[in-house]
Amino acid sequence: MWRNCVRLARGLGHSAVLRLDPKVSGCGVVRGLSPTVSCSPTAPCSLLWNSVTWLSQARQSKDYALPNSSWSQGMMDLYNRFLEMCKDGTWKRIPSYGNSVDHIPESLKLVPEKEQKGTRLFSRNMDTEGLGFEYAMFLNPSEKRMVCLFQPGPYLAGHPGFAHGGSTATIIDSTVGGCAIFVAGRVMTANLSINYRNPIPLGSVVLVDSKVDQVEGRKVFLSCQVKSIDGQTLHAEATALFIQLNSTKSLQEQMSSQ
């Protein structure tokens, strides 16, 4: 497993048929916020997370952050727009798996994590596509910024026709959390404050845009806005505080030591 991490750190490519191929071009993929790995933007790639926190070990694990038939045209257009921005390395696509334990390598798992069985990442808990959380995330390392393309399904309903505020909080927490992981490694939410401005219609597509504002020791302060695709409607805005759990090096530190 550690050898796989080293390979990823060296930026080896990964083809659609799971053969390492440095000649494959396309969108850079952050495998658990690892250094860029080239991947065909149209191929469903089975991905590995790196040693920060989200390293997947099973090639057979399904990447739920890839397009499926439930995605609207607006979701696809936004996704393809970010894939284009990935080509020069400015942005990196983030994969997402159904089990949170699968995102951590055996060598780095804590004892409670190794003993967990039958768990499921609840933001990926739907066996039928399009009913719950449909989303894909992209990271801009230089700006310490993470965005999430979010399409809430009918099982996230609150007030008739609109997404429940708790689902909005979940996707905000997941997005700012991923951003905090890039800077500090293992983190947990200490505070999340949200102002809801306009409800999100079920089935619509919004952009969750987060960034790191400040780092003080083990504290990572972030801000986030949830807007419509055209940027004209502000659905929610938030601030968050995450705390680094241990001394696990962040991706930022790993990259600077290369």
Separation CA 19–CA 167 (nearest Å): 37
Cα-Cα-Cα-Cα dihedral of 95, 100, 101, 103, to 10°?
Answer: 20
- CA-closest candidate to residue 241, choices 216, 207, 204: 216
Options 21, 63, 88, 173, the catalytic residue: 173
Separation CA 189–CA 241 (nearest Å): 6
Q: Are 104 and 112 in contact (CB under 8 A)?
A: no
- CA-closest candidate to residue 179, choices 151, 232, 215: 215
| 230 given a catalytic annotation | no
Q: Which residues are catalytic?
A: 173
